[in-house]
Amino acid sequence: MSLKVRIILAATLLSLMFFVAVYSSSGQQRASNADQAQVVDAVKAIFSAAANDDLAKFHAVIVPGFYIYDAGARFDGDAIMTLIKAEHAKGRRYEWNVTEPDVHVIGDTAWIAYVNKGAVTDESGTRAQSWLESAFLERRGGAWKIVFMHSTRVPVAPPASTVSMR
């Protein structure tokens, strides 16, 4: 083969590899409106199940092996529902809302990041609270199921007079 033919073949091969790499890296796609709504609805369903101590509804939206990082700890399976039920028994109620959802879908898997804007109510009253949260889901039998969740409470800002700019 002549040098010119080798250069053309090499350039063609490199171009082909570049386009394959660019095309395959776009596998993570913005979710379709239907998928996005279904992923958000799955998260809302787990919130509804927790708010109502509804273990059957909770199981309907999670996969076996589900776990969540919340309150600085890992909770496997039903453990988070046990904790929430104990909080309800103490008179504490939670309001959870999915806001600013950012949903991504790759085939039958999806992840969502969102701001959970809600409130905590107990004998002292109701306090607004926000959490930064994310979840990983799988599509099983045509429905989105939650595999993993993570929640970080956003600290309540101190009064302006006590804020230091150090």
Higher pLDDT, 68 or 158: 68
pLDDT digits (tens, 9 = 90+) for 115-155: 999 999 999 999 999 999 999 999 999 999 999 999 999 98
- Contact between 138 and 108 under an 8 Å Cβ cutoff? The reply is yes
Split at pLDDT 50, 70, 90, the class of 4 is low
Split at pLDDT 50, 70, 90, the class of 1 is low
Q: Which CATH number applies to 31-162? A: 3.10.450.50
Calpha distance 83→133 (Å, rounded) = 18
pLDDT digits (tens, 9 = 90+) for 103-112: 999 999 999 9
Split at pLDDT 50, 70, 90, the class of 18 is very low
pLDDT at 16: 44
Residue 101, Cβ density class (10 Å: 0-12 exposed, 13-18 middle, ≥19 buried): middle
pTM for this predicted structure: 0.76
Element containing residue 21 per DSSP (H, E) = helix 3-25
pLDDT digits (tens, 9 = 90+) for 51-76: 999 999 999 999 999 999 999 999 99
Query: How large is the average pLDDT for residues 155-163?
Result: 68
- Contact between 39 and 144 under an 8 Å Cβ cutoff? The reply is yes
Calpha distance 69→80 (Å, rounded) = 9
Give every CB contact of residue 10 below 8 A, 6+ residues apart in sequence.
none
